[in-house]
């Protein structure tokens, strides 16, 4: 039996919300475990956490991360990155005053901004975006989401953008319409597979709290569960969407996410210009450790 350091951490949790659960396995190196066992652990934790992140230290200021859901490897998982890196930075004395930490993922090298002292949060640079040209008939989208075509707000374009995962982005007319969405998991999974989508993000401008800019919900049936209650990759794609359509100036904004009217999670977005003079979206938040111990494989 092999033992691994394990934590269950809820990313983006607030005093009023539960956040998004991630499993966290700390490794000495990725030679400690193979892909089959990483998937096995994530499968055993299905229903308990949405994804499991695996991390190994490379040097004093760099970490490598990989992510698995119960179904497959995930190219990039925003909430697991928030959970893991928040925990590492907050509990590593040498990183207390380090402003930027480097991470290596399947989507490339990314920066982590340490804002724990100022606002008890970190910000993760999203992967470079890719904008997909393919279009999906609006009737098919409405059918997959179990809504009427008239519920879709066509004053906003429907787009597919990858900010870590291929994300279909759709506007809905009203907050109540978003809150009442009840797609069927297997049907939505089929729709996503047929259209080469990882996740679907639905949004509206109407919010519960006027300090928040948008309400979103994210559906991720191809990863073995219906809804992602707080997501970095989906909202990063949404940030790139807002920039593309000139709906955002890149300053800090807050997003409400999930299907509960008042007990929503909060994800913050901002931008910076990277070393190649490209405007990048960063997503931010904090996390709460719920369980800590050993995972016996």
Range 176-203 average pLDDT: 98
**Residue 60: per-residue pLDDT:** 86
Q: Please state the CATH superfamily assignment of the domain spanning residues 130-259 in this structure.
A: Diaminopimelate Epimerase; Chain A, domain 1 (3.10.310.10)
- List the domain boundaries for the chain: 3-127+284-296, 130-259
**Residue 261: per-residue pLDDT:** 96
Domains 3-127+284-296 and 130-259 share a fold: yes
**Residue 248: per-residue pLDDT:** 98
The H or E element spanning position 289 is: strand 287-296
Determine if the pTM surpasses 0.85.
yes
One-character DSSP codes across 73-97: EES--HHHHHHHHHHHHHT-GGGTT
pLDDT tens by residue, 125-169: 999 999 999 999 999 999 999 999 999 999 999 999 999 999 999
Please give the mean pLDDT across all residues of the chain. Answer: 96
Burial 200-218 (b: 16+ CB within 10 A, else e): bbbbbeebeeeebbbbbbb
**Residue 229: per-residue pLDDT:** 96
CATH number for the domain whose boundaries are 3-127+284-296 = 3.10.310.10
- Given a cut of 90, whether residue 14 has pLDDT beyond it is no
Range 282-296 average pLDDT: 96
């Amino acid at each position: 039996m092999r033992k691994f350091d394990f934590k269950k951490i809820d990313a983006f949790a607030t005093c009023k919300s539960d956040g998004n659960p991630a499993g966290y396995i700390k490794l000495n190196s990725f030679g400690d475990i193979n892909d089959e066992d990483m998937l096995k652990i994530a499968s055993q934790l299905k229903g308990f956490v949405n994804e499991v992140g695996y991390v190994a230290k490379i040097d004093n200021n760099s970490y490598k991360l990989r992510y698995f859901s119960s179904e497959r490897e995930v190219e990039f998982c925003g909430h697991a990155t928030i959970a893991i890196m928040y925990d590492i930075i907050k509990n590593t004395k040498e990183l207390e005053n380090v402003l930027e930490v480097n991470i290596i993922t399947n989507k490339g090298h990314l920066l982590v901004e340490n804002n724990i002292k100022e606002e008890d949060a970190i910000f993760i640079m999203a992967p470079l975006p890719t904008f997909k040209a393919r279009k999906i008939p609006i009737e098919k989208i409405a059918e997959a989401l179990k809504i009427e075509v008239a519920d879709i707000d066509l004053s906003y374009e429907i787009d597919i953008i990858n900010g870590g995962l291929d994300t279909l982005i759709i506007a809905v007319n009203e907050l109540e319409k978003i809150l009442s969405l009840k797609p069927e998991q297997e049907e939505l999974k089929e729709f996503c597979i047929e259209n080469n989508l990882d996740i679907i993000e639905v949004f509206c401008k109407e919010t519960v709290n006027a300090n928040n800019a948008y309400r979103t919900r994210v559906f991720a049936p191809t990863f073995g569960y219906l809804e992602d209650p707080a997501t970095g990759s989906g909202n990063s794609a949404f940030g790139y969407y807002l920039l593309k359509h000139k709906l955002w100036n890149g300053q800090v904004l807050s997003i409400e996410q999930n299907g509960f009217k008042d007990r929503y999670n909060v994800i913050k977005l901002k931008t910076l210009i990277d070393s190649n003079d490209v405007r990048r979206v960063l997503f931010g938040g904090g996390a709460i450790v719920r369980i800590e111990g050993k995972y016996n494989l």
